[in-house]
Amino acid sequence: MQLIGYTCSYIPVELLALTGFRPYRLLHGDVDSSKRGEKFVRVDACPMVKSNLDHIFRNQNDFAALVGSTGCDMSRRMLDVAAENTRIPVLVFNNPRTDNRTIFHDEIDWLTQRLERLSRRQFNPASIQNEVTKWESMRVELRTIDERRAANPSQVSTASFHEVMTAYCQGAFDRDVSICRERADRPRVYLLGSAITYESNAILRLIEDHLRIVGDFNCGLSRALDIRIQEPTLAGIEETYYGQPPCVFKRPDRRFIDHVRDETRRLNCTGVVAWTLDYCDAYEFELRKIERTIDLPVLRIRSDFSLQGSSQLRTRIEAFVEMLCSKT
């Protein structure tokens, strides 16, 4: 089955799936592909964007279309680069950064029409309901795992959770999403920051050698689970995707900050790990404010996907753990 690539948590996977193509979130990120991506963009572009470009270019025949949003400037421009370098049709919808429901709804309507034309299918209420049900049931299953992850003590590692979320992000419904019990009494931390790419599992494992990530607000992890469509209609999809906990790009950022603070409290976290990719300015700008607001120790990890500094990172994590333990 051909893929329909997408870049943003505000793009409804249900609509993408209605095309008959498999929704595939563009979340690639490793050192080699990032380096190769510098063929298309400058070295100071987001490493994930560079990896994604490399992935798109090398697998262009797999993609029936790419769908992006204005959520992040580099991500939006990534599709511009993809359009110039491949023949893959590209659709970019306006995801307003401010509270502007009209634009969002109009743009989802536009996206729906374009997807219909692209796939030469009519999205009718029945097919929409069917797709919503399918994806919602997947999310229900994943939420159960997320709850086990959030339990105290936590029963599931985020590294394992990441693997099952990868299946969701890649639209791979056929993959086994069952997870063994991995109880841990390590310090409970919340994960924030840039998207967790498919290839980032090793870094999660490195973190969880010493800590247990019990919640997160990262693309590629649990953000998709905040989508709870009550009404299986196009209007229901629009409303739900618009009303999800706001991403870091939304302005003003108050609701985002409040959400993070509430989640860290709900999950009884004693610290936060902020994982940001090089040149991911949005999070870098926000981190100090987050630190002030949530009043928890924050371990900042800056990454270009390389594991070259892993021993140094391990030491930093150990020091962070010591600090958390001394606080409790």
Interacting residues with other proteins (CB under 8 A): 39-42, 44-46, 49, 70, 72-74, 76-78, 80-81, 83-84, 92-94, 96-98, 100, 102-103, 106, 110, 114, 117, 249, 251-253, 278-279, 281-282, 284-289
Distance between CA atoms of residues 158 and 60, nearest Å: 31
Please, what is the minimum distance in Å from the beta carbon of residue 311 to other proteins?
A: 25
**Nearer CB in complex with other proteins: 46/165:** 46
Distance between CA atoms of residues 328 and 312, nearest Å: 25
Please, what is the minimum distance in Å from the beta carbon of residue 262 to other proteins?
A: 19
Tokens of 128: 């929409």
Distance between CA atoms of residues 281 and 81, nearest Å: 20
Sorted by sequence, the CB contacts under 8 Å of residue 120 that are 6+ apart come out as none
CA angle 169, 60, 82 (to 5 degrees): 85
Please, what is the minimum distance in Å from the beta carbon of residue 45 to other proteins?
A: 4
Alpha carbon 82 to its chain centroid, in Å, reads 20
CB-CB contact of 244 with 29 (8 Å): no
Which amino acid is present at 260?
V
Sign of CA dihedral 82, 169, 70, 240: positive
**Nearer CB in complex with other proteins: 163/284:** 284
**Nearer CB in complex with other proteins: 216/278:** 278
What is the SS3 assignment for 176? Answer: coil
**Nearer CB in complex with other proteins: 69/158:** 69
What is the SS3 assignment for 271? Answer: strand
**Nearer CB in complex with other proteins: 78/203:** 78
Please, what is the minimum distance in Å from the beta carbon of residue 28 to other proteins?
A: 17
Please, what is the minimum distance in Å from the beta carbon of residue 293 to other proteins?
A: 10
CB-CB contact of 274 with 145 (8 Å): no
Angle of helix 201-208 relative to helix 310-327, nearest 10 degrees?
Answer: 40
**Nearer CB in complex with other proteins: 285/315:** 285
Query: Burial code of 263-293, b = ≥16 C-beta within 10 A, e = fewer?
Result: bbeebebbbbbbbbbbbbebbbebbeebeee
**Nearer CB in complex with other proteins: 153/252:** 252
Q: What is the DSSP track for 183-199?
A: -B-SPEEEEEESPPPGG
Please, what is the minimum distance in Å from the beta carbon of residue 252 to other proteins?
A: 6
Please, what is the minimum distance in Å from the beta carbon of residue 102 to other proteins?
A: 7
What is the SS3 assignment for 71? Answer: coil
Please, what is the minimum distance in Å from the beta carbon of residue 49 to other proteins?
A: 7
**Nearer CB in complex with other proteins: 118/167:** 118
Alpha carbon 85 to its chain centroid, in Å, reads 25
Please, what is the minimum distance in Å from the beta carbon of residue 52 to other proteins?
A: 12
**Nearer CB in complex with other proteins: 95/264:** 95
